[in-house]
Amino acid sequence: MNQNIYPEEFGYHFSFRNFEQIYKQTISAFKKQMSLEDFVEAAAGFEEGAEKFNLKHQSQLEPGVKRYCWVDDKTERMIVTAFNNEGEIIGVQFDIYEKFKTDRELTINRYQLPFTEEWFVLWGGTNNFVNYHYPHRHQRYAYDFIRKIGGRAHDGNPDELTSYYAFNRPVAAPRAGTVVRILDGIQDNEPLKMNLDVPEGNAIIIEHDNNEYSLLAHLRNNSILVEVGDTVETGEMIAQCGNSGASDMPHLHFHVMNGIEPHESDAIRIQFASGREPVQGDTVRGRK
């Protein structure tokens, strides 16, 4: 008799404290990192006082792996699970499903997507399952975009930057404004490595109407086409996507904030010109 837990049944089994059964279904790498005893203790402590965990979101960011978000609405506790195609549990993470009042505040200006091609929303949305930036006020409503073809982010050797579809692709100004800050001259990282000393990497900050500022980060070294003081138009090509700063694979970071200092300003939920707000898992195309 098959005793496997189906991904859609995980919340039921967790709520009924079937922790040992869950653990048996985890992959060997998970078991090497965490013993059964430690897992049961952590799971029991997290479940204590909670009610029923219901499936809130699911997504597939890479081939062969699906992620599921389970939330107890009473206590706002969240469990994130990842299953592979064989039904094995790759990981289990306990967290809090946070929501903030700032979700109701939108930018005054409307913005275009910062590219003209088809890109994939890797991170973006108003909870910390779909957007890992969300708990941090200075980048709460940020987006990370990659390019995918056939469901994959690269073709060829994954250790080479040029294998990634996003690398070298053009980046566009999301709205007309004035360039007020540029970071450049930072080497692009090798895949799976990051430069935490300069988190934004090569970046452009544009001042727009109504004291709103857009940040475009992790740009390719020496690809920036504008200078401080330049005025740019919506859709104007201003740089290329790279892998600089706190980036371990080529992607474009984009958010809008209420000041020029990225780590001291508050991110603002973006009002898009299309009227549609992208979220993680969406494939979107910018306007030419």
Tens digits of residue pLDDT in 50-83: 999 999 999 988 888 999 999 998 999 999 999 9
Nearest residue to 182 via CA among 140, 215, 146: 215
- H or E segment and range at residue 138: none
Strand partners, 172: 237
- What 8-state DSSP symbol labels residue 139? G
d(Cα 209, Cα 110) in Å, to the nearest integer? 10
Question: Nearest-5° angle of CA 196, CA 197, CA 203?
Answer: 85
Nearest residue to 203 via CA among 234, 246, 166, 154: 246
Neighbours of 287 (CB within 10 A): 12
Q: What is the CA radius of gyration of the chain?
A: 21
d(Cα 195, Cα 219) in Å, to the nearest integer? 13
Token pair belonging to 195? 């430069």
Q: In terms of DSSP H, where are the helices of 34-125?
A: 36-47
CB 182 within 8 A of CB 260: no
Backbone angles phi, psi at 257, to 5 degrees: -140, 170
Neighbours of 133 (CB within 10 A): 20
d(Cα 214, Cα 216) in Å, to the nearest integer? 7
Backbone angles phi, psi at 96, to 5 degrees: -110, 135
pLDDT digits (tens, 9 = 90+) for 89-125: 999 999 999 999 999 999 999 999 999 999 999 999 9
Strand partners, 71: 54, 78
Token pair belonging to 156? 């060829």
> What's the pLDDT score for residue 1?
40
CB 272 within 8 A of CB 113: yes
> Which residue ranges of the chain lie beneath pLDDT 50?
1
Strand partners, 179: 206
